[in-house]
Every structure is written in structure tokens, then in C-alpha cells.
């Protein structure tokens, strides 16, 4: 098979030619009018990939999720791409797959064409339906048996003042249509009473913001000799690092087969790193707001919502872009140009020391490789930024921005469950939870995890000065024991090690996991959304590797009743000692909105850090060369480049 975009590596995403072959194979196999929910690479088994034998790229496979609206049924298929044949076909009973971008458009059209909705708009003071925005919003599950067998959406509605106005500034409070996505009909309109539309504009585009700052001077980032990375297809080499950049409609950006070149040896660290799931629960019990909780990955598709990134705006410097290819629900190829951005950036001082007796400072500049993507899920934006550092660190930083999901109030008082951000306009309290799946491979697949807590030494004896403390390491041997949370009082972290390989001081090689800002859920464990999002019950979960366990809330969280994913798998209490393990981390951000978060929210940041601990025999960045000293260009003086 000829590929206009050649495949270089077995873990690369599907090319557009491969997607076309897959779609045709499905249509040849079945003439049903399918919605193509996702078409993605079915990755080769880890055992096959790590067998060190050449994988035949003509034998790549695709995993396809399909939906039949007429029968309200979901199917999964596997297609052998080279053979152009469907090799597996499975009906997945009683589930609702991810909503497609086409359904979002069709849902809005269906709502705006409904005569009962038009009448409801008039009651709410909206005279021009053409200015109404209808955001699809997942329906969730709340125990309504009569609706459990339907594919539903429960949109939120807003009214623009004109065609380019920020409609989110004018929520139609109290009005929520319920749409059957199979028939694209409004089956019910929930009307909780009229609240006047907030009138204060909340615009942010250059058309409306006329008085821009005039004192910002340009910052130019140049690399006249080009970047330090090399790219072959989707395989990247940079500063002793090697990895494969992946992408799919559900997870978005993924990283694969991450290794570090150390003393002539290519040493593995992570086999796969990805967003497993996320959920945004709202803490407002009022009628319009109480059902708001979005599983943005499993219900919408983080990759399907990915942006085309722009030079000078999303990314600055010498940029390598990766395009992404997915399908719409009709099976047509959708190209997301510049879906992934990769570049280097300066990161301050890497290390420094001045020997006062010699009087010569030694300082090294740090740089990092940035691999990023951004997704827009209706009103919100999420940035996913992976950083690789010269000292062996790996970091994920999530960037939260966009527009708040807003509501209207009658009085100019702060509502109990949110905050006023403008007259008559409020933002409900809410949280964002992300679950990340880290398939570790520390010098091989036989890994173990220690939970490390810092403990003070009891007073007396050897601790007469009452100053001693030490690290207490607990080997985690099974899944239930491994369920745990961050603990500030003990500076808790986790150490992933390989007992079968030691460093030059006899310690098992390893990496430590260090969580950043985090929170716990405030909803009851019995709330409907928490039953579906069991991954939020703990910050850390550890499971033995299973290629079928990829998503923390299960494969199909859309309208699920819950109990799937991590909370179910770990009940088996499987062994996680000296085996192929997967480390799952849940991080959360509690957002009590401020007026400063409106009309567009300044970016909030959360993430984690992976740091080598005994993986190397010494500082791996000791060989970074000194930077060239520059002449100062201001009134300060100095003798070194720090």
C-alpha cells in the first residue's frame, strides 16, 4: 500500500491513507449508516514491540468505534490495514460512546429548529433565535430509567447581543432542552423559570478591546543554527532523549517509548504516557447547574477537540509541528493542522557553583524540550505540555484557560455556590480532575513501587538535638495497598524502581513521582458523577499492565452508571511487585471563580514531576557545555552568564 505520508515507526498515529483504507474496509464489511466515533491505531502488543525484532509496518491494525443511531448500538472493530480486512467485530451492549463533533453541530441545529424551544426563548426575553448559542453538554446519568436507553444531550443555551458578541456573557438561566441524539429531536424542555439576561458585555477580541497596552517591546527567540532535536516521522531525538509522539481522537497527545542515552546505553523509562480521563464537576445544586459534570475525554474526545496551533501565539521559537488526522462521524478524514507543537526553550539556570578560592563561577543554562497541544471543549481550553529536561526530569503541566461556564442571578449579591463576576452574572464553584496513565518501563518491565514518607526520629537516644528525620519506604505489593493520596505532613512521594538493576552504589535504579498542586473532591461519594468517576477517590493507583485497561473511568463513561475503570479493576488486588506496572495519577484543581477570571480566564497550572533517583550514577547534566558569555546591554555589570 502506498502512503502519501510514510510510516516510520510502529507506534506512529495512523496516516490519512491508512484511515481511508480502514473506513472503506468497514463500509465493505457492513452497509449500515454508521457514525465513526473514532479510528485510531491499535498499537502492537508490548511484548511484540519489545521483542527487539523488526515489526512489519504493513501489518498495522486500527481500532474503530462505531455507532448505529437507528438501533442505538455501539460496536468495536479491528481492521488489518495491509490486508484491508475487518478481523474483529464486536457489539458493546448498553453503552454510549463519545459524542462526535458532528453531533454537536447537529444538536444545536435541532434545538434551534424546535418550535417549543423558540416559544421558550420568547418567555426568557430572547427575540432573535439566530443569535442563540447551544452548547451540547453531556447528559450524564441520574437514575432516570426511562432515559437510560437513549443517547442524550442536555445543552446549555446563551444569547449573543450580535453576531460576534461573547454569548457566554448572556446565559439563558433556567432553560435546558433535552435532545435525543439518535433522532436529533428535542424530547423535553426543562424550564425552571425566567431570570433576566445579564446585559453587561463581556467581550475580549480586538474588535471590542480598543485600548491595548502600548509599552510591550518585542521578545525575539532565534536559533540561527536550527534546533537541537532531530525528527524522523514521529520519532524524536533530543539531548540524549528518544521518544515517539502519538495522537488519537480520544486521548489527544500521547508519548511513547521514552528513553535516555546513558553511557552508550539506550535506557527505557516510560513505555506510554497519556491522559486517561478527566471530569469537571460543578458544585452548584440549583436547577440549571446541578447536572453539570463533563468527562471531557470520554464524552467529547480531547483529540477531536484539538486546536490548530499558530506560530507566535500558541508556540514561540523554532517550531516543529505535527499534523493530526482523525475522522468525522461520517468517516471523512479531518486534518488538524499543527495539532502538536514541539520546540526548545530556555529554562534558566541548570546548575551553578562558585569556588570562592579560585574565584571562577561555573554555571550552565538549562533548556527543555516542549511537546504540547491545546483542546477547546465548548467554553473551556486545556493545554497539555510535556517537558523533557537535560537532567533527566520529565514534567507534565496542564494549562487551564478559556471562558467560565456562567449563570445568571436576579440580585447583585454573591450566590452561595459561586461568585459574581459581573452584574447579574455568576460563575459556579467547580473542580477539574485529570487522571494520567503512566506505563513505566524503568530499565525494563520488571518494576516495583515504594511509597516514601518523611518521618521525624523520636526524641531522645541518637536524636538528642531533636532535629533528625528520615525517609520511610514502604514497598507496595498489591493494588488495594497502593491506593493512596498525597500527604503534605509527610512530604509523600512514590519511587518506581527496578530491583534487577543497581547503580554504582548498589541501589536499585529508579524514578520518583512528585505530585504538584492537588485537591480532593467535595461531592459525596454517593453522588452520581463520583460513581462514574471512581478515579477521583485516590490520587495514586497502581495496576499490573493490561493493554485493555487504558481509561480510568472505563471505556465508555458517557451516560454510564459507574463502577467501571480503576475502582473496578483494583478490586482484584493483583500483584504489583517486580512486574510490569502502570502508575495512575489523579490531579485536581478547585476553582472558586473571581471577577479577574472573566471574561477570559488567565491560565491556571497543575501537574507533576518525574525525577531520577538513583537512575544515574551522577548528575546527568554534568556534561552540558558552558554558555557563551554575552556583553550586558543595560546598566548592570556582571562577569558570568547566570
Question: Catalytic amino acids?
Answer: 296, 380
Q: Is the dihedral of CA 303, 307, 311, 313 positive or negative?
A: negative
Q: Which residues contact 92 (CB under 8 A, 6 or more apart)?
A: 74, 75, 76, 555, 556
- Listed in sequence order, the residues at least 6 apart from 268 whose beta carbon sits closer than 8 Å to its beta carbon are 257, 258, 259, 441, 442, 443, 444
Q: Which three cell numbers stand for residue 445?
A: 518491565
Contact 198, 407 (CB under 8 A): no
Strands of the sheet containing 425-428, edge to edge, are 407-408, 425-428, 418-422
Q: Which residue has the cell 490486508?
A: 83
Helix (H/G/I), strand (E/B), else coil: 206: coil
- Residues 598, 404: contact at Cβ < 8 Å? yes
**CA 523 from chain center: how many Å?**
22
- Angle, vertex CA 293, rays to CA 292 and CA 296, nearest 5: 130
CB neighbours of residue 458 within 10 Å? 10
What is the C-alpha to C-alpha distance for residues 466 and 457, in angstroms, rounded to an integer? 8
Can you tell me the distance from the alpha carbon of 524 to that of 537, in angstroms, rounded to the nearest whole number?
11
Closest CA to 434 of 626, 273, 241: 273
Q: Are 404 and 372 in contact (CB under 8 A)?
A: no
**How far apart, in whole angstroms, are the C-alpha atoms of residue 449 and residue 473?**
10
> What span, in angstroms and rounded, lies between the C-alpha atoms of 326 and 38?
7
C-alpha cell at 35: 457514525
Q: Which residues pair with 377 in a beta bridge?
A: 380
Q: How far apart are CA 626 and CA 633, in angstroms?
A: 20
Exposure pattern of 488-513 as b/e (b: 16+ CB <10 Å)? eebebbbbbbbeeeebeeeebbbbbb
Strands (DSSP E) contained in 301-393 are 320-327, 333-355, 360-377, 380-389
Amino acid at each position: 500500500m502506498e502512503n502519501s505520508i510514510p510510516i516510520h515507526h510502529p507506534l506512529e498515529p495512523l496516516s490519512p491513507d491508512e484511515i481511508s483504507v480502514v473506513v472503506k474496509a468497514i463500509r465493505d464489511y457492513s452497509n449500515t449508516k454508521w457514525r465513526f466515533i473514532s479510528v485510531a491505531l491499535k498499537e502492537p502488543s508490548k511484548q511484540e514491540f519489545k521483542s527487539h525484532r523488526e515489526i512489519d509496518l504493513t501489518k498495522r491494525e486500527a481500532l474503530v468505534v462505531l455507532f448505529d443511531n437507528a438501533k442505538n448500538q455501539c460496536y468495536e472493530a479491528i481492521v488489518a490495514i495491509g490486508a484491508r480486512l475487518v478481523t474483529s467485530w464486536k457489539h458493546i451492549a448498553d453503552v454510549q460512546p463519545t459524542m462526535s463533533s458532528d453531533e454537536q453541530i447537529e444538536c444545536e441545529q435541532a434545538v434551534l429548529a424546535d418550535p417549543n424551544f423558540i416559544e421558550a426563548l420568547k418567555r426568557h426575553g430572547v427575540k432573535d433565535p439566530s443569535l442563540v448559542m447551544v452548547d451540547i453538554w453531556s447528559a450524564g446519568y441520574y437514575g432516570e430509567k426511562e432515559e437510560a436507553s437513549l443517547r442524550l444531550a442536555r445543552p446549555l443555551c446563551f444569547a449573543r447581543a450580535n453576531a460576534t458578541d461573547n454569548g457566554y456573557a448572556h446565559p439563558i438561566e433556567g432553560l435546558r432542552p433535552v435532545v435525543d441524539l439518535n433522532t436529533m429531536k428535542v424530547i423535553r424542555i426543562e424550564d425552571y423559570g425566567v431570570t433576566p439576561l445579564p446585559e453587561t458585555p463581556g467581550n475580549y477580541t480586538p474588535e471590542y478591546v480598543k485600548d491595548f497596552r502600548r509599552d510591550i517591546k518585542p521578545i525575539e527567540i532565534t536559533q540561527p543554527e536550527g534546533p537541537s532535536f532531530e525528527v524522523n516521522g514521529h520519532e524524536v531525538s533530543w539531548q540524549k532523549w528518544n521518544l515517539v509522539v502519538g495522537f488519537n481522537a480520544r486521548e489527544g497527545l500521547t508519548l511513547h517509548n521514552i528513553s535516555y542515552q546513558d553511557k552508550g546505553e539506550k535506557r527505557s523509562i516510560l513505555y506510554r504516557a497519556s491522559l486517561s480521563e478527566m471530569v469537571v464537576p460543578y458544585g452548584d445544586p440549583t436547577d440549571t447547574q446541578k447536572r453539570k459534570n463533563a468527562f471531557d475525554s470520554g464524552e467529547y474526545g480531547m483529540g477531536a477537540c484539538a486546536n490548530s496551533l499558530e506560530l507566535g501565539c500558541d508556540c514561540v521559537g523554532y517550531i516543529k509541528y505535527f499534523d493530526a488526522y482523525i475522522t468525522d462521524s461520517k468517516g471523512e478524514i479531518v486534518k488538524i493542522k499543527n495539532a502538536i507543537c514541539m520546540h526548545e526553550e530556555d529554562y534558566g539556570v541548570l546548575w551553578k557553583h562558585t569556588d570562592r578560592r579560585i574565584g571562577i563561577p561555573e554555571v550552565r543554562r538549562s533548556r527543555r524540550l516542549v511537546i504540547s497541544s491545546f483542546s477547546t471543549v465548548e467554553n473551556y481550553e486545556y493545554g497539555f505540555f510535556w517537558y523533557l529536561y537535560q537532567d533527566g526530569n520529565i514534567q507534565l503541566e496542564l494549562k487551564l484557560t478559556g471562558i467560565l461556564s456562567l449563570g445568571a442571578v436576579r440580585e447583585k449579591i454573591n450566590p452561595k455556590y459561586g461568585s459574581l463576576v459581573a452584574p447579574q452574572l455568576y460563575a459556579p464553584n467547580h473542580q477539574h480532575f485529570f487522571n494520567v496513565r503512566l506505563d513505566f518501563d524503568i530499565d525494563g518491565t520488571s518494576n516495583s513501587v515504594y511509597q516514601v514518607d518523611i518521618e521525624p526520629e523520636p526524641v531522645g537516644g541518637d536524636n538528642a538535638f531533636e532535629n533528625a528525620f528520615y525517609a520511610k519506604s514502604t514497598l507496595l505489593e498489591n493494588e488495594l495497598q497502593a491506593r493512596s493520596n498525597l500527604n503534605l505532613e509527610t512530604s509523600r512521594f512514590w519511587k518506581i524502581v527496578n530491583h534487577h538493576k543497581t547503580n554504582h552504589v548498589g541501589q536499585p535504579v529508579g524514578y520518583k513521582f512528585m505530585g504538584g498542586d492537588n485537591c480532593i473532591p467535595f461531592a459525596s461519594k454517593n453522588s452520581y458523577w463520583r460513581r462514574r468517576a471512581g478515579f477521583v477517590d485516590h490520587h495514586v493507583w497502581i495496576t499490573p499492565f493490561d493493554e485493555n485497561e487504558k481509561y480510568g473511568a472505563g471505556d465508555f463513561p458517557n451516560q454510564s452508571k459507574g463502577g467501571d475503570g480503576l475502582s473496578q479493576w483494583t478490586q482484584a488486588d493483583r500483584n504489583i511487585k517486580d512486574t510490569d506496572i502502570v502508575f495512575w495519577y489523579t490531579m485536581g484543581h478547585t476553582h472558586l471563580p473571581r471577577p479577574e477570571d472573566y471574561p477570559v480566564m488567565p491560565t491556571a497550572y497543575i501537574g507533576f514531576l518525574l525525577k531520577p533517583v538513583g537512575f544515574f550514577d551522577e548528575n546527568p547534566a554534568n556534561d552540558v557545555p558552558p554558555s557563551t558569555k554575552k556583553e550586558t546591554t543595560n546598566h548592570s555589570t556582571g562577569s558570568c552568564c547566570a
